[in-house]
A = this chain, B = another copy of it.
């Protein structure tokens, strides 16, 4: 007389565990009435499967999560990937595995890679949609088949994606504005350098900054929003123009990762440290500018945590049936001179994971 799980259901429904299994999984070869009876009882029992048993029984690769993100931009996506890998590693023994289908650059060929993931038969997808119009139908198709899609860093808000893991762009902009207002005198002029305002995230950062700056800086004004399309040259040229055109400019907020050309322009015009610069994210080449004060602070999007979180919520859902939070808008972190070394991107000693003392339990014996 088994008293647990699937056996209990079988007993109450007066069928075999095989039939219970068929009912629970929507498999074929079962009469509708039987299925309904089993499902009803399962619900009454508040049944929830035992992930350990399932993992053990199925063997490896219970849960396959497809990942489609760019290969690299200034380390940003490397960090996202690292976060995902770490989290996947933790649950590997539970049969979770990642299936990578990277795109070379954001949005480049994501249709092909997404289609490949669907063919691969993954159970869920993590994606940075670069081209929402193209990605949306595929996202919707996946979700309609029961494949969860989580967007990260960028969003496809009009799709059926289950969740978004990203920083709140409007908040980023407002945070930048609040700080800028503390750095520059009242009545200052400020500008934004962004990618493309047609991208939702960039637009929200820009408007967040503009609104925040007006509120926080008495008499302050945002005199320009430069679209640099992630091009170093365009960014440099437009910034130089602006700096010449607006001699009373006191602050610049760069809302993309593309801040080096702006630093270069400031140096060229001998304005380093005079114009307050607030940037986005962090990579090694930014470190000297932060240390010498050209960059006052940077709004860090925590790519590592984003990757971790995306995997985590999917695993929780797939393994434990946990709900997926509709959105995971994380608050950005501020990079300053004093905490600079605490960020992975700026510290040379990657992951100082000491071997620690011999582990407990059986490991004691094995490692001894």
Contact = CB atoms under 8 A, between A and B. Distances in A.
Given A175-B336, A336-B179, A338-B212, A123 B360 contact: yes
B357 A26 contact: no
A163 B331 CA distance: 27
Contact of A182 (B182, B212, B321, B354): B182
Oligomer: number of copies: 2
Contact of A333 (B331, B357, B364): B331
A146 B357 CA distance: 10
Q: How large is the interface on A (under 10, 10 to 19, 20 to 34, 35 or more residues)?
A: 35 or more
A364 B26 contact: yes
A183 interface: yes
Given A53-B56, A323-B353, A26 B362 contact: yes
A364 B143 CA distance: 12
B338 A174 contact: yes
A295 interface: no
Nearest to A26: B365
B325 A353 contact: yes
Contact of A323 (B42, B182, B342, B354): B354
B316 A90 contact: yes
B168 A337 contact: no
A162 B212 contact: no
A339 interface: yes
Interface stretch (A43-51, A113-121, A246-254): A43-51
A364 B324 contact: no
B123 A47 contact: no
Contacts of A47: 366
A168 B342 contact: yes
A363 interface: yes
Contact of A317 (B143, B333, B342, B359): B359
A175 B339 contact: yes
A146 B361 contact: yes
Given A182-B183, A321-B359, 4 more contacts: A26-B362, A50-B56, A52-B56, A56-B56
